[in-house]
Structure 1
Amino acid sequence: MWKVLIFCLFIKLINGNYSDPIYPVLNPCLAILNRLSDMASAFLNCAVSRARPFKLCEGCVDNFARLQDLIRLLDITYSDVDKAITCKRFLESYDTIQIVAQLISFVQNIWISSYCDNCITNYKDTNGTIDYSLTNHTVKFIQKKLNFDFCLFNATGRMVPLIPIDLNVTLNTNVCTVCLATYNDINDFFLQVARDNKNGVCMDIVDTMNYTRLLWSKIYECKRHDPDYMAIIGISFFIPTIVCVFYVTALFKEKRLPPHSTTAAIVGARRWLWSNPNE
């Protein structure tokens, strides 16, 4: 009987599903690698799907935050019981192509080049839930964008599409008048944000502002009534230039006049006085 039990146990071990989570992982670094692969794929899928309109920063912060946690685990998790080799070293030391390192660099470069940290901060994984905060200027920009969209809706009776390129509208000059204040408000605020963040503005905000300007100037053909700064600059440059040219010309002509001798003038006057007028 006991032989039958041993045989059944042997068959169970052979056919066992060792991919099941209840079985221990021999190397924790490989477990992190598998998870890193899944999260990197999820982030890239999210980034591509939010390329137009560009909403990568706020839309993909969950995937990026979880990916960052895994990257940090590579430095604090060891592949051996003696804790001599970290998982980062274990995964990168014997890989001449450096797939893991290049993958991490590629993902982080997408986040950094999008200046996402300028609009989203304090992102962290808390018990499986990603918490994050929007910067103050991001919150204000979103509110001003909502005000502008609400104004367009009141003036046209239509919702503003996410991508207004293919929007077929009937020109409504009322929009340009009624919504001018809200448009100037969001546009001026964006310019101020750009001045305050010289290192770069969050691409979520930049892309939203680009579409807003496209909607305003191309779709509704509205013009912002700004002062003609080029004319002012031109006049400011033209008038001093004319003055300088006039001064240089006058100075040049003065130098070319023949010098007059005071003595010769006196002698000439005397000759004229004593000369015979009948001659």
Structure 2
Amino acid sequence: MMYVAACMLMAGVCMGTDWTFDAESELIPRAQWAEQLSLALLPAYSLAPDPTPDLSQCVQLLEEFANNSATLSNCLVSMARPVRLCQHCYKEYAQLKATMSKIGNPIIQNSTVTCSTILLRSDRVQVIVELNDFFDKLWSDSKCDNCLEKNGTGVSHNTSEFMNSFDSLIQCFNNTMKEPPISSEGNISRVCQICNETYQRLNTMYNGLEKKTGLCIDLEDAMNSTRKLWSKTFNCTLPCTDTVPVIAVSAFILFLPIVFYLSSFLHSEQKKRKLILPKRFKSAASVANIQDKRN
């Protein structure tokens, strides 16, 4: 009987009958009323053993995911140039992942009922799933975990130390450019001379992090921009202190083939002489013997 009554109520909605919702006879939209009625009928006639998730909690999680997505998107775009998204957007990313975890967690204790069926897998496009995968891929491609603590709750000490050195070098660039340039040594400017030690220290630190823990997009972008400024903008081609030994070794290596062929040539000539001398001696001895016989 309850099923028949439900069907009659649904038929009345479809036929345009105005059904009231509460005691004050306030009408609600037919589509919304029909949706609520159909969802209310699911627990009684569904074959699933678990009850239907509380829609209010699922809607609340949906709004929370929307707010987290908007906040994270705004942070990522704001930190896109210069790239600092790993250092400044890790909190927003953690909040988004926490919301996704809530969607997959049971609503009722000791139950398997979750909002994931309604919010994640209920349509063909799967908007929430696609957005979550997009943020995960962007975070993974940026290698942000290399610049954060293991639990992802803060920036690592190595990253902070590198960025402090980077800021010091940029400050050195800015302060030195205010002074008049000098060109006593070719194209070497004042920036190259004064900031050389800071630049070399930053470059050494970068190479060490690359071998030790890996790099994130923040550090890679910072170092690439620094090297571009150093080589192209300031044209810093400082002479290498090991130039003389390098030239000496190179000249020695280039001279080795000449020594080899020359020694081979002299050695071959010496062998020829050793082979010819006995023949001369033999011919001279034979001539002497002939002369003695004639005599």
| Per-residue deviation, residues 146-184 of structure 1 (Å, max 9, x unmatched) | 3223333442349xxxxxxxxxxx756222211111111
1:1-279 equivalences under 5 Å are 10=24, 26-78=55-107, 83-121=111-149, 132-157=153-178, 173-197=189-213, 200-226=214-240, 232=246, 239-240=252-253, 243=256, 247=260, 250=264, 267-268=282-283, 270-276=285-291
**1:29 counterpart SS class:** helix
The answer (yes or no) to whether the contact 1:171–1:220 under 8 Å persists in 2 is no
Normalising by structure 2, what TM-score? 0.63
The code of the aligned residue for 2:101 comes to R
103 and 226 in structure 1: CA distance in 2 versus 1, 3 angstrom threshold: farther
**2:71 counterpart SS class:** helix
Q: Between the two structures, name the one with larger relative contact order (CA 8 Å, sep ≥ 6).
A: 1
Aligned mates of 1:137, 1:149 — CA distance in 2: 18
Deviation at 1:139, TM superposition (A): 1.9
The code of the aligned residue for 2:236 comes to C
Deviation at 1:114, TM superposition (A): 0.9
The code of the aligned residue for 2:146 comes to N
Deviation at 1:95, TM superposition (A): 3.4
Residue-pair matches, total? 239
Deviation at 1:57, TM superposition (A): 0.8
95 and 8 in structure 1: CA distance in 2 versus 1, 3 angstrom threshold: closer
Task: Please identify which structure carries the higher helix content.
Answer: 2
Deviation at 1:75, TM superposition (A): 2.7
Aligned mates of 2:250, 2:240 — CA distance in 1: 20
Aligned mates of 2:129, 2:105 — CA distance in 1: 16
| Per-residue deviation, residues 113-153 of structure 1 (Å, max 9, x unmatched) | 111111122567xxxxxxx3222221221221232233334
**2:55 counterpart SS class:** coil
Aligned mates of 2:258, 2:121 — CA distance in 1: 72
Normalising by structure 1, what TM-score? 0.66
> Between Structure 1 and Structure 2, whose CA radius of gyration is higher?
2
Aligned mates of 2:117, 2:171 — CA distance in 1: 54
Q: Which runs of 5+ in 2 are unaligned?
A: 1-20, 30-53, 183-188
| Per-residue deviation, residues 85-132 of structure 1 (Å, max 9, x unmatched) | 4333444444333433222111011111111111122567xxxxxxx3
Deviation at 1:266, TM superposition (A): 7.2
**2:123 counterpart SS class:** coil
96 and 264 in structure 1: CA distance in 2 versus 1, 3 angstrom threshold: farther
Aligned mates of 2:194, 2:84 — CA distance in 1: 29
Aligned mates of 2:288, 2:25 — CA distance in 1: 147
The code of the aligned residue for 1:61 comes to Y
Q: Which runs of 5+ in 1 are unaligned?
A: 1-6, 16-24, 125-131, 159-169
The answer (yes or no) to whether the contact 1:61–1:123 under 8 Å persists in 2 is no
The answer (yes or no) to whether the contact 1:65–1:123 under 8 Å persists in 2 is no
Deviation at 1:69, TM superposition (A): 0.7
The code of the aligned residue for 2:234 comes to Y
Give RMSD over aligned pairs.
Answer: 4.2
Deviation at 1:12, TM superposition (A): 7.2
Task: Please identify which structure carries the higher strand content.
Answer: 1
* Alignment partner, residue 6 of structure 2: none
Report percent identity of matched pairs.
24
Between 1:201-210 and 1:36-45, the stretch displaced more is 36-45
The answer (yes or no) to whether the contact 2:106–2:112 under 8 Å persists in 1 is no
